[in-house]
Chains A and B, each alone.
Chain A
Amino acid sequence: SQTIHQWPATLVQPVGSPLSLECTVEGTSNPNLYWYRQAAGRGLQLLFYSVGIGQISSEVPQNLSASRPQDRQFILSSKKLLLSDSGFYLCAWSVSRAYSPLHFGNGTRLTVT
């Protein structure tokens, strides 16, 4: 069966510090991968998605970047965090087929102080 791992679960970082969140998927090949952000009390915002190694699409211009160095690895990064980067970050995967549901990791709670 397929599993998705996302870490760390919680993170407290000062303003201006770098960020690296990692997500890996097991049990499937060539998945579509996604990073979402969920601000407190609000809905989901799609940040990045990837259909293959090295292929990244950005939905919202911001202080963040994403990379996919391996087929089942997806990394969310920032060189300098802002207070507004605080939130709940969710990684998800789907099979590369129309109408497929997303399967989410357990999320990372990021607090920028």
Chain B
Amino acid sequence: GDSVTQMEGPVTLSEEAFLTINCTYTATGYPSLFWYVQYPGEGLQLLLKATKADDKGSNKGFEATYRKETTSFHLEKGSVQVSDSAVYFCALSEAGGGADGLTFGKGTHLIIQP
């Protein structure tokens, strides 16, 4: 079946550092890929998405490129802020998966220190 693997953390960085959160996936077909962010005590918010190979999703300074050859969708940001502290989830959706939602990774807890 489909699966998503991401580092669980916590990942601790200093403000203005470069961020990479790795995400790799296993899928039988050609999925769409997503990154979600969850701030403390809140629901998940869609951060960015990509629907085909070499697409780059971007939002709020975050970027991720759909790499079919390496089955990866790593999240990057050039200069993180304390307000970026949150849990980040990588997820995929396959058309053949029916209506049963997305397949999520276990989430990466990011802590940014001032």
Contact = CB atoms under 8 A, between A and B. Distances in A.
Given A49-B99, A49-B100, A99 B32 contact: yes
A96 B98 CA distance: 10
Interface string B84-105: 0000010001110001111011
A101 B89 contact: no
Interface in A63-113: 90, 92, 94, 96, 98-107, 109
Contacts of B25: none
A51 interface: yes
Nearest to B44: A104
B51 interface: yes
A99 B41 contact: no
Interface residues of A, number: 27
Interface string B1-45: 000000000000000000000000000000110101000011111
Interface string A31-68: 01010100000111010010100000101000000000
Given A98-B95, A99-B32, A90 B43 contact: yes
Contacts of B43: 6, 90, 92, 104-107
Contact of A43 (B31, B49, B51, B107): B107
Interface residues of B, number: 24
Contacts of B36: 104
Dominant secondary structure at the B interface:
loop
B82 interface: no
B74 interface: no
A92 B43 CA distance: 9
A78 B56 CA distance: 43
Contacts of A100: 93
9 contacts: A32-B101, A43-B107, A90-B44, A98-B94, A98-B95, A99-B32, A101-B34, A102-B101, A104-B36
